Amino acid sequence: RVSRSHVALWLAALLFSGQGVAAEGATVALDKQLFAVVGGERVTHEQFHTFLAAAARKRFYHGKVSQEQMTLFRREAAQQLVDTILLRQEAERRGIVVSNDELAAKLAEYEKHASASGGDDRVNWERALSQQLREQLLLSKLRQQVLAAVDDPDTTAIERYYQDHRDKFTRPEQVRVSLILLSVPPYAPSSEWQEAVAKAQTLLQQLHAGAAFAQLARDHSQHESAVRGGDLGFVHQGMLSADVQKVVDALVPGSVVKEPLVILQGVAIVRLEERQQAEPVVFAQARERAASLLQKERESSAWEGVLAGLRKATAVQLAPLTP
């Protein structure tokens, strides 16, 4: 079995090999200890490697990564680190602070869900963790502040969004089906399955002779819908198994399957009761969802706008990544 330490070493070899890193900023010659300078803040290669390794553990926890994947990931991680620093600097400029109580609560929450670590360097590990959690809290507060400034959309904007995105407000086709299920355990012998199929064929003959589906369901079905005469109500695409859905799609309302269906739970007889075609949802019914979707888009745009502005306004210098 490959140990976690061996996986970490293997990841590190991939992570730290190669030369250039393309992030938003100029790649220049810097002091050999520096990976970047972001808004005047110096970032060492050690800091970047720590950030990169932590991000890699989350992304590639299975340990199987190609060189091409890792090259792309280094570039992505470089940009993420720069963006994190830009946002933290903006939070500090805005006077956003994290209290000791807030940080202590975050640490307690972390320790509740994570095993102890740090080894012999426990003090430095806790200091680094505190710094990381403080940064997370700062960015969370900054995001809350940015989103709080986004106005709720008015009715005109909501209706315009609804009209421009009608595909998001369409009720999918639904079918109302009834079921008779003769349960058979998956592990049952073939003779038990054959017996259930034979019984289902007899029930089908009775249906074709004019017997009431609902009564046969009450008398013979072993599904919970038996008390309702087998009525499953309306279901839409994806709620039935693929095999059953294919059969139902070929039925017309009022018709029953020609042959019993062998499914995971046993042997089934299905009747299509009603088919409702896909139809648009009127604005009055879609208004709440349209408002929610529009608000989320506005908030996402506002957050991305802040980050884009910081990238444009802040001097960022990057050095080539060295092993």
Which of 49-53, 148-152, 210-214, 306-310 is the least confident region? 49-53
Q: What is the pLDDT of residues 187-203, one digit of tens each?
A: 999 999 999 999 999 99
**What is the rounded distance in angstroms from the CA atom of residue 127 to the CA atom of residue 208?**
77
Structural domain includes residue 213:
yes
Residue 287 is assigned to a structural domain of this protein: no
Dmax over CA atoms of the chain, in Å, equals 90
> Which pTM was predicted?
0.64
Q: Which residues contact 248 (CB under 8 A, 6 or more apart)?
A: 175, 177, 240, 270, 272
pLDDT tens, position by position, 265-299: 999 999 999 999 889 999 999 999 999 999 999 99
In a domain, 90, yes or no: yes
d(CA 97, CA 100): 10
Residue 203 falls inside a structural domain: yes
The domain in which residue 36 lies consists of: 4-149
Domain presence at residue 84:
yes
Average pLDDT of 158-182? 94
pLDDT of residue 320: 72
Q: Do 10 and 135 reside in the same domain of the chain?
A: yes
Number of domain units in the chain = 2
Please tell me whether residues 44 and 139 are part of one structural domain.
Answer: yes
Helices (H), the chain: 4-15, 45-59, 67-93, 100-113, 122-148, 155-164, 190-208, 213-220, 242-249, 283-313
Same domain, 83 and 30: yes
Task: Please indicate, yes or no, whether residues 119 and 187 belong to a single structural domain of this protein.
Answer: no
Q: What is the CATH number of the domain that holds 46?
A: 1.10.4030.10
Pair (17, 108) in one structural domain: yes
Task: Assess whether 117 and 203 both reside in one domain.
Answer: no
Q: Give the per-residue pLDDT at 25.
A: 56
Q: How far apart are CA 143 and CA 87, in angstroms?
A: 9
- More reliable by pLDDT, 87 or 129: 87
Q: Is the pLDDT of residue 117 over 60?
A: no
Q: Clarify whether residues 121 and 222 are in a common domain.
A: no
Q: Is residue 16 within 8 Å of residue 51, measured between CB atoms?
A: no
- Per-residue pLDDT, averaged over 20-47, amounts to 74
d(CA 137, CA 33): 28
140 shares its domain with 17:
yes
Q: What is the pLDDT of residue 237?
A: 81
Per-residue pLDDT tens digits for 73-116 = 888 999 999 999 999 999 999 999 999 999 999 988 888 776 55
Percent with pLDDT over 70 in the chain: 86
- Burial class of residue 199, CB neighbours in 10 A (0-12, 13-18, 19+): middle
| pLDDT number for residue 287 | 97
For residues 11 and 60, membership in a common domain is answered with yes
DSSP 313: H
Residue 294 lies in a domain: no
Of 97, 116, 149, which residue sits at a domain end? Answer: 149
Tell whether 166 is covered by a domain.
no
Sign of CA dihedral 104, 107, 112, 113: positive
Q: Is residue 111 part of a domain?
A: yes
Q: How far is CA 302 from CA 114, 141, 277, 306, in A?
A: 34, 15, 38, 6
Per-residue pLDDT of 95-104, as tens digits, reads: 999 999 999 9
Helices 283-313 and 122-148 cross at an angle (nearest 10°) of: 120
Looking at the fold, whether 224 and 191 belong to one and the same domain comes out as: yes
Structural domain ending residue among the three candidates 149, 182, 200: 149
Round the average pLDDT of the chain to a whole number and report it.
Answer: 86
Residues 145 and 177 in one domain: no
Radius of gyration for the alpha carbons in the chain, expressed in angstroms and rounded: 30
**Does one domain contain both 192 and 141?**
no
CATH number at residue 211: 3.10.50.40
